[in-house]
Structure 1
Amino acid sequence: MNSASPLQVDESRDQPVFMAALLSRVKDEVEEELYGFTTDEIVKATCLAIFAAATDTTTVTLTWALALLVNNPLVLRKAQQELENHVGRDRKVEQSDMSNLVYLQAIIKETMRLYPAGPLSLPHESTEDCIVGGYTVPKGTRLLVNIWKIHHDPQIWTDPFEFQPERFLTSQKEIDVKGRHFELIPFGSGRRICLGSSFALEIVQFILASIIHGFDFQKQSTKPIDMTESPGLVNHRAGPLELLVAPRLLPHVY
């Protein structure tokens, strides 16, 4: 917070280090209206939101996706074939490849449908009296949306408990996860939709593509991986995911 200190820069990217940039921004606005919060509270809350809301949920989604793929080896092979068609085996996956990986995008949608990272979303509170769907909702009412239930509704989804990425390439091709289709809302919807949804989609797709492109995965036994969920605000697996891993690309790529 010393005004005489230069802003720290990540030399590899020529960009300000996140914490230095955050502290600098708060310092610049310290004279402005901060809604009654101290600068320490703002910095701590921002860091907590980033680590709790982004890191944890991203890790959870990637873990479920990998577990689903290993339990469904034909889907995994199909995704890897798509990567070979568009990327090959002599280089790593790049961000520019993402738009071509249509089947991988369907896998991620289906993962978020079956195992939404926030199964009950976040609490929402009405700021005034209103009527929603014929129900009177008084001001101050807190609402939890059961996203998990919506994503498994048999009136909306055929075979709702089955892992079928192809549904997003055929009958439900037009459905996305950006809050425009209420049958699939892993990030919520409307004005209070997750602010990090675009970042999350990009990073999950890129990491999952890199992982399954670079490595083969197998179960440790002939039994299916246990897909039991643990209770909580974030939809973690009940136990760790332990797999056998082997490289599948040319040695120089690594």
Structure 2
Amino acid sequence: SLMLGANDTTVVTLTWAISLLLNNREALKKVQDELELHVGRNRQVDESDIPNLVYLNAVVKETLRLYPAVPLSVPREAMEDCTIGGFHVPAGTCLLVNMWKMHRDPRIWFMTTHESLDVKGRDFEYIPFGSGRRMCPGVSFAMQVLHLALARLLHGFELGTLLDLKVDMT
């Protein structure tokens, strides 16, 4: 069940990344140009290439920000009475973090660059895999697969849509 969950959420995120790139041809071209520069055409993308693919990394991070595979966190329980955002929360209350909403907060996003943010849950404005002791155990697996699969797909194929129409993911 752990591997199935990791596989499913990774495939969903990859689907979102491809749809976002197909709807933003300029970003798609930038990733392909970066792959051409760092990998060339004579070989396949290797895991050792990934650290050099800065724009690809940004695409993966932005995809995870806009479309976290699990938009609501795993339920937590308040251990004691507390106040969150001005609201009294009694002990025993079930709490969920709406990561989808948090990742779209205009007070945090769209103002500055966030290139230094990682997905390990240290920056609480960006937690696509959760944070703390109970964060997703598959974070390393997911990031490895997302980067390599997306890089190889974009390096090996010319992607497009019929009649250059936008991808509708609704």
- TM-score, normalized by length of structure 2? 0.92
1:132 deviates by 4.6
Is structure 2 residue 90 aligned with structure 1 residue 138? yes
Which residue is 2:11 aligned to? 59
Whole-angstrom CA distance in 2 between matches of 1:132 and 1:102: 40
Whole-angstrom CA distance in 1 between matches of 2:72 and 2:8: 15
Higher CA-based Rg = 1
Is structure 2 residue 43 aligned with structure 1 residue 94? no
Higher relative contact order (CA 8 A, sep 6+): 2
Instruction: List structure 1 segments (4+ residues) > 4 angstroms apart after TM superposition.
Output: none
1:67 deviates by 0.6
Which residue is 2:133 aligned to? 191
Higher mean C-alpha displacement, 135-144 vs 73-82? 135-144
Opposite residue 168 of structure 2, the aligned amino acid is D
- 1:181-212 C-alpha deviation (Å, 9 max, x unpaired): 11111101112111111111111101100100
Which residue is 1:200 aligned to? 142
Q: How many pairs were matched up?
A: 169
Whole-angstrom CA distance in 2 between matches of 1:130 and 1:96: 48
The alignment-based identity, stated in percent, is 54
- 1:227-250 C-alpha deviation (Å, 9 max, x unpaired): 32xxxxxxxxxxxxxxxxxxxxxx
Opposite residue 2 of structure 2, the aligned amino acid is A
Gaps of 5+ in 1: 1-47, 160-166, 229-254
SS of 1:97 mapped into structure 2: helix
Opposite residue 49 of structure 1, the aligned amino acid is L
1:138 deviates by 3.5
Whole-angstrom CA distance in 1 between matches of 2:37 and 2:164: 30
Which residue is 1:43 aligned to? none
Whole-angstrom CA distance in 2 between matches of 1:103 and 1:49: 30
Is structure 2 residue 23 aligned with structure 1 residue 50? no
Is structure 2 residue 100 aligned with structure 1 residue 158? no
Whole-angstrom CA distance in 2 between matches of 1:130 and 1:192: 21
Which residue is 1:222 aligned to? 164
1:130 deviates by 4.0
Which residue is 1:147 aligned to? 99
Whole-angstrom CA distance in 1 between matches of 2:149 and 2:102: 27
RMSD of the TM alignment (CA)?
A: 1.7
Which residue is 2:71 aligned to? 119
1:135 deviates by 4.8
Opposite residue 56 of structure 1, the aligned amino acid is D
SS of 2:82 mapped into structure 1: strand
1:102 deviates by 0.7
Q: Structure 1 residues 142, 98: closer, same or farther in 2, change over 3 A? A: same
- 1:44-71 C-alpha deviation (Å, 9 max, x unpaired): xxxx12202x011000000000011111
1:156 deviates by 1.2
Whole-angstrom CA distance in 2 between matches of 1:71 and 1:112: 16
1:155 deviates by 1.2
- 1:87-126 C-alpha deviation (Å, 9 max, x unpaired): 1101111111111111100000000111111011221223
Q: Indicate if the aligned counterparts of 2:82 and 2:91 stay in contact, CA closer than 8 A.
A: no
Whole-angstrom CA distance in 2 between matches of 1:218 and 1:50: 31
- TM-score, normalized by length of structure 1? 0.63
Gaps of 5+ in 2: none
